[in-house]
């Protein structure tokens, strides 16, 4: 049994899959999803981040500033802790999105989470409540999380590419995404998740650069540069945005495949972390 996003109710996996619009047959596909079996992406040289196929276990280039700044803003943000970050985001006036927001929405969840989900930007309800994904798309996201035994706030952190609501819920433009990127990058550095799931094109754009359509990015293996000194990157899975899935039912099955792939990647990441951990009882010399 799996806890539902509605307090006091528990749903079976079959009920959950139905709730997100899938039949239980998708469960069977889980074991057949190949991890890292997809073509490596051809990142443009100017792509802001170094990308590597996760399966290659190659050293990942050190993180570069997502936005080159003349004024040191990105560097300042890169040194912030959570409290400063929260304050800085709340009072940010770095782009025009600040003009119509009720409040900036930093993110929600476990700041030591293994799982990081990144969406596009706050909508009307998120702008009013100060929490990401609390509207209809958020309900679907909660159901998607529950279908892979996850729950908002419990080993999961949810953030957005931009922290202020784009007027009329339009997609944030590339300049807005770039201006907000140092905040997202700092969140990732502080959380150090084991896996990142990018929900939709704006999130993919924020982290990977403009590499193509969402459909072309799905199923590919990416890695986000890990913390300095760590050779292995954080695996990144790109999937559809829940708001898109609400409008395009047939693609829910593809999103389910992506979630199964994400879960398999998480298992691999945990297994390799356990392998490289020193045996218990030993002390560093």
Taking phi over 0 as left and psi of -120 to 50 as alpha, with beta for the rest, 255 belongs to alpha
- Given the rule CB under 6 A, which of 55-63, 69-77, 118-126, 260-268 is the region that contacts ligand URA? 118-126
Q: Alpha-carbon distance 78 to 72, whole Å? A: 10
The token duo for 257 is 């495949």
Q: Which residue is nearest to ligand URA (CB)?
A: 119
Check binding of 157 to ligand URA (CB under 6 A): no
Given the complex with ligand URA, which of 33 and 158 has the nearer CB atom?
A: 158
Check binding of 233 to ligand URA (CB under 6 A): no
Q: Alpha-carbon distance 21 to 16, whole Å? A: 9
Check binding of 172 to ligand URA (CB under 6 A): no
Single residue of 53, 107, 109, 132 touching ligand URA by CB under 6 A: 132
Check binding of 107 to ligand URA (CB under 6 A): no
- Asked if residues 36 and 54 have their Cβ atoms less than 8 Å apart, the reply is yes
Provide the b/e sequence for 180-209 (b: ≥16 CB within 10 Å).
bbbbbbbbbbebebbbbbbbbbbbbbbbbb
Given the complex with ligand URA, which of 119 and 182 has the nearer CB atom?
A: 119
Within 10 angstroms of residue 250's Cβ, the number of other Cβ atoms is: 8
Single residue of 19, 114, 126, 257 touching ligand URA by CB under 6 A: 126
For residue 172, count CB atoms less than 10 angstroms from its CB and return exposed for 0-12, middle for 13-18, buried for 19 or more: buried
Least distance (Å) from ligand URA to the CB of residue 85?
Answer: 17
Least distance (Å) from ligand URA to the CB of residue 133?
Answer: 4
Check binding of 120 to ligand URA (CB under 6 A): yes
Contacts (Cβ under 8 Å, ≥6 apart) of 71: none
Check binding of 121 to ligand URA (CB under 6 A): yes
Check binding of 133 to ligand URA (CB under 6 A): yes
> Which positions touch ligand URA (CB under 6 A)?
119-123, 126, 132-133, 135, 137-138, 160, 243
């Amino acid at each position: 049994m799996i806890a539902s996003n509605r307090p006091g109710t528990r749903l079976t996996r079959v009920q959950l899959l139905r709730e997100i619009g899938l039949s239980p047959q998708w469960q069977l596909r889980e074991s057949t999803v190949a991890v890292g079996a997809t073509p490596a992406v051809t990142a443009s040289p100017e792509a802001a981040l170094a990308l590597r196929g996760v399966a290659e276990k190659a050293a990942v280039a050190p993180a570069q500033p997502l936005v080159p700044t003349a004024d040191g803003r990105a560097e300042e943000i890169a040194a912030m802790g959570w409290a400063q970050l929260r304050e800085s985001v709340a009072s940010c006036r770095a782009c025009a999105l600040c003009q119509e927001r009720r409040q900036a929405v930093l993110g929600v969840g476990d700041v030591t989470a293994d799982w990081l989900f990144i969406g596009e930007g706050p909508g009307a309800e998120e702008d009013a409540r100060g929490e990401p994904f609390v509207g209809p798309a958020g309900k679907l996201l909660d159901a998607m999380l529950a279908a892979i035994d996850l729950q908002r706030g419990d080993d999961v952190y949810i953030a957005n590419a931009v922290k202020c609501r784009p007027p009329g819920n339009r997609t944030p433009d590339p300049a807005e995404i770039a201006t907000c990127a140092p905040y997202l990058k700092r969140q990732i550095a502080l959380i150090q998740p084991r896996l990142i799931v990018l929900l939709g094109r704006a999130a993919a754009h924020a982290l990977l650069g403009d590499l193509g359509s969402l459909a072309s990015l799905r199923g590919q293996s990416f890695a986000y540069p890990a913390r300095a000194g760590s050779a292995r990157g954080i695996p990144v899975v790109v999937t559809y945005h829940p708001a898109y899935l609400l409008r395009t039912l047939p693609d829910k099955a593809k999103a389910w495949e992506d979630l199964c792939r994400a879960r398999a990647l998480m298992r691999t990441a945990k297994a390799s972390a356990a392998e490289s951990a020193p045996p218990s009882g030993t002390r560093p010399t």
